[in-house]
Amino acid sequence: MTYRTHKIAGLSLLVGAVAACSNPAETVDTPTAEDATRTLTLYSSRHYDSDKALYAMFEEQAGVKLDVRESKADQLIETMKAEGDQSPADVIITSDAGSLWRFQSAGLTQPLASDTIGAAVPANYQQSDGHWYGLARRLRGIAYDPARWSAEDLATWDKLAEDDKAGEICVRSSSNIYNLSLMGEIIHRYGDEAAQDWATSIVSNMARNPQGGDTDQIRAVAAGECSIAIVNHYYWVRLGASEKDADRNVAASTTFLVPEFTAGSGSHVNITGAAVAATADDAALAEEFITFLLTETGQSYLTRETKELPLLDGSPLPEGVENVPDFTASDANLEIYGENQAEAQRLFDLAGWN
Partner 1 sequence: MLRSALSPRSIPPVLIIALVGLPVLVAIWAGVTAGGGATWEHILANRLVPYTLTTIIVLAISAIIMLGLAVPAAWLTSLYEFPGRRLFSWALILPLAMPGYVMAYAWADLMGVAGPLQATLRDLTGWSARDYWFPNLFSAPGLAFVLASTLFPYVYITARAAFSMQSLATLEAARSLGTPPLGLFWKVGLPVALPTILGGVSLALMEAAADYGAADFLGVQTLGVGIVRSWTSFGEPNTAARLALVLIFIASAFLLAARVFQGQRGSQQTSNRWLTPRRVPLPRVWGIAATGLCGLILLICFFAPVSRLAWLAVETRASAQDLWPLVRTTILLGLMGTTGAFLAALVFTLSTKRSALLRLGARGVAAAGYAAPGVVLGLGALFILKVTGQALSGTIAIAFLVWIYISRFTSAGVEPLQATLDRLPKSLDDATRSLGSHGLNQFVRVDLPLLTPGAIAAGLILFVEILKELPATLMLRPFGWDTLAVRAHAYATDERLAQATLPSLLIVLAGLAPVILLSWRLGRTERN
Q: Which of residues 203-222 bind partner 1 (CB under 8 A)?
A: 208-216, 219-220, 222
Which H or E run contains 139? strand 133-144
Among 53, 60, 81, 328, the residue binding partner 1 under the rule CB under 8 A is 81
- Give the C-alpha separation, 234 to 238, whole Å: 6
Q: How far is the CB of 221 from partner 1 (least distance, A)?
A: 9
Q: To 5 degrees, how large is the angle CA 158–CA 162–CA 168?
A: 105
Could you tell me the smallest distance in angstroms from the CB atom of residue 8 to partner 1? 5
The interface with partner 1 within residues 104-123 (CB under 8 A) comprises: 105-106
Q: Which is nearer to partner 1, 218 or 334 (CB)?
A: 218
Q: Which of 38, 60, 84, 166 binds partner 1 (CB under 8 A)?
A: 84
Q: How far is the CB of 254 from partner 1 (least distance, A)?
A: 12
Size of the site for partner 1 (CB under 8 A): 78
Minimum CB distance to partner 1, residue 141 (Å): 16
Q: Quick one: 201 or 215, whose CB is closer to partner 1?
A: 215
Q: How far apart are CA 317 and CA 306, in angstroms?
A: 11
Q: According to the binding rule CB under 8 A, does residue 148 interact with partner 1?
A: no
The answer to whether residue 169 forms part of the interface with partner 1 (CB under 8 A) is no
Check binding of 147 to partner 1 (CB under 8 A): no
Q: Which amino acid is residue 90, in one-letter code?
A: D
Nearer to partner 1, 90 or 124 (CB): 90
Q: Which is nearer to partner 1, 163 or 244 (CB)?
A: 244
**Residue 339 and residue 98: Cα distance in Å, rounded?**
8
Q: Which stretch binds partner 1 (CB under 8 A): 10-18, 132-140, 186-194, 317-325?
A: 10-18
102 lies in the site for partner 1, by CB under 8 A = yes
Q: Do the Cβ atoms of 76 and 92 come closer than 8 Å?
A: yes
Could you tell me which of 340, 30, 12, 37 has the C-alpha nearest to residue 191? Answer: 340
* Identity of residue 118: G
Name which of residues 299 to 328 contact partner 1 (CB under 8 A): none
Task: Report 35-64 residues binding partner 1 (CB under 8 A).
Answer: 47
Q: Long-range CB contacts (< 8 A, 24+ apart) of 345-349?
A: 345/174, 345/175, 345/180, 347/183, 347/187, 347/192, 347/195, 347/196, 347/199, 348/174, 348/175, 348/179, 348/180, 348/183, 348/199, 349/174
200 binds partner 1 (CB under 8 A): no
Q: How far is the CB of 273 from partner 1 (least distance, A)?
A: 18
Using rule CB under 8 A, residue 268 touches partner 1: no
Q: Does 180 bind partner 1 (CB under 8 A)?
A: yes
Q: Does 18 bind partner 1 (CB under 8 A)?
A: yes
> 56, 57, 69, 323: which one contacts partner 1 (CB under 8 A)?
69
Q: Give the 3-state DSSP-derived string for 227-246, with helices as H, strands as E and coil as C.
A: CEEEEEHHHHHHHHCCCCHH
**Residue 184 and residue 341 in contact, taking contact as beta carbons nearer than 8 Å:** yes
- The residues in 247-266 that bind partner 1, with binding defined as CB under 8 A, are 250
Burial per residue of 324-336, b for 16 or more beta-carbon CB atoms within 10 angstroms, e otherwise = beebebbebbbbb
- Out of 31, 50, 57, 74, the only residue in the binding site for partner 1 (CB under 8 A) is 74
Q: Site for partner 1 (CB under 8 A): which residue of 34, 37, 82, 314?
A: 82
The residue (of 49 and 331) whose beta carbon lies closer to partner 1 is 49
Distance in angstroms (rounded) separating the CA atoms of residues 318 and 323:
11
Give the shortest CB-61-to-partner 1 separation in angstroms.
Answer: 21
Phi, psi at 44, each rounded to 5°: -130, 140
Judge whether 269 and 137 are in contact, CB under 8 Å: yes
Residues in Cβ contact with 129 at an 8 Å cutoff, skipping those fewer than 6 apart:
111
Provide the 8-state DSSP code for 109. Answer: E
Query: From the list 53, 60, 63, 75, which residue makes contact with partner 1 (rule: CB under 8 A)?
Result: 75
Question: According to the binding rule CB under 8 A, does residue 281 interact with partner 1?
Answer: no
Task: From 187, 160, 137, 204, select the one nearest 352 (Cα to Cα).
Answer: 204
